[in-house]
Structure 1
Amino acid sequence: MSTNDPRSSDTMTTTTVPARLDGRVALVTGGSRGIGEAVALRLAAEGADVVVTYLNSAERAEAVAARITATGRRGWALRADSADPEEVRAAVEAVAERFGRLDILVNNAGAGYVGPIEDTGPADVDRVLEINVRAPYLYARAAVAHLAEGGRIVTIGSCMAKRAAFPGGSLYATSKAATIGLTKALARELGPRGITVNVVHPGPIDTDMNPADGPSAGFQSGFTAVGGFGRPEDVAATVAHLAGAEGRYITGAEIAVDGGFAV
């Protein structure tokens, strides 16, 4: 299950990899921490200029941007509320204006929610669907005006979209299941333009919000085939593959990075 939330930047390591994304510009939503941070650093390590959006974690986002810049790439931390349609549109336009292009969109920003359906209010539903469903759609809508042939859209889904292993996840699972439909339909629509669209489903990933030594870690690990948590870098490696030239023939795909959670 991906909470799309945090492990602080000082615990992340930048992987040394071939510069396969030279000249490319990537936008990673919710890129100040956790999976988003790892994805941003991996794309930069492979040669991309990377913009990370954040809502409240300005200091962390600036630290990620600084680490990207330290690799010799251009990094930028951009505040954007994924629940606000106008801020979503403006964020994409700001990236295109500042860098002159946009090649890779990673829809990572997300809202987690677990609780009994009878305790889930309309405000909870609105918040989760606004961020986990509407925002990826609107980011993609804004991005396609700038993506050229070879463009990439990767959305971070969740293992809970594929397997309801425990109760309380109906709202979150609903929102992440929607990313599957979005991915497949967009892949069909954008394929003739040479743009690929894929969704990556993380399983239990070791972040500040969902630590591998947390109170529910043993419970979650028990649902995986490997018996443990993954790292944000595991997800980032898959995203980077999809974002590069080697991912050109992968589209409309659901790729699990979940330790066998959905087996």
Structure 2
Amino acid sequence: MLEADIEDQALVWFEEMGYQTAHGPDIAPGGDAEERYDWHDVILSARFEDSLARINPDASPEALSIAAAKLRRDLAEQTVLERSNQAFQEMLVEGITVEAADNQGVRKAQHIIIVDRNRPENNDWFAVNQFEVRSGNSIRKPDIVVFLNGLPVAVFELKRIASEQIHLKKAFNQLGTYKRDFPQLFRTNEILVVSNMRYSRFGSLTASWEWFMPWRTMETMEGESQDVTWELEVMIRGLFQKDLFVDYIHDYV
């Protein structure tokens, strides 16, 4: 099974988990279902802004606009990726407080959350393969990027199927190259995944290879654990289950 086949199968599993999916070229600048207007920008602006409005129904348009701009500005101002990522984590957990006119025109502090933890289905879940990112003359296409409310929160690097784990370390090293050359893709990152289909490992943005671990369990529709051959399926159906994922990124990252 080639890497492209693994990508396609992964998207099928995400679809079965209730995610929207797309092929990167379709949503790229000039694509048939364009959602990006700049190869460097990795935030899906329409999804991000629509999600903020949906999960903060009492916030004024001005407050939502200020909060969205603040998130972008605060992340871009940090020149060290790890600090930028930490700033995002604080906004994810604590929300963003801004001063703006409310819907009656009264200026006051308004608290904006960027992920709905209480109602995971109220968030926007989106998985994309071959998501092309550019920086200067460099171009990379991460195999799969998972977006939560338009923000890239997980990056998968896949290798061809194998009965051994030999290629996983290479995939991990490749993610390190991506982080160095395309830091904008990782400012809002919560999870990195490497897989050759049979074996899969995940870790945080700053974790060393020794701390990348498999995800051991998943739940079936009936709520019973199920053994499968492919660790990648266990990873997607387990860790990326919506309610579990939201709890994980709030409590364990």
Structure 1 length as normaliser, TM-score? 0.34
Structure 2 length as normaliser, TM-score? 0.35
User: Between Structure 1 and Structure 2, whose CA radius of gyration is higher?
Assistant: 2
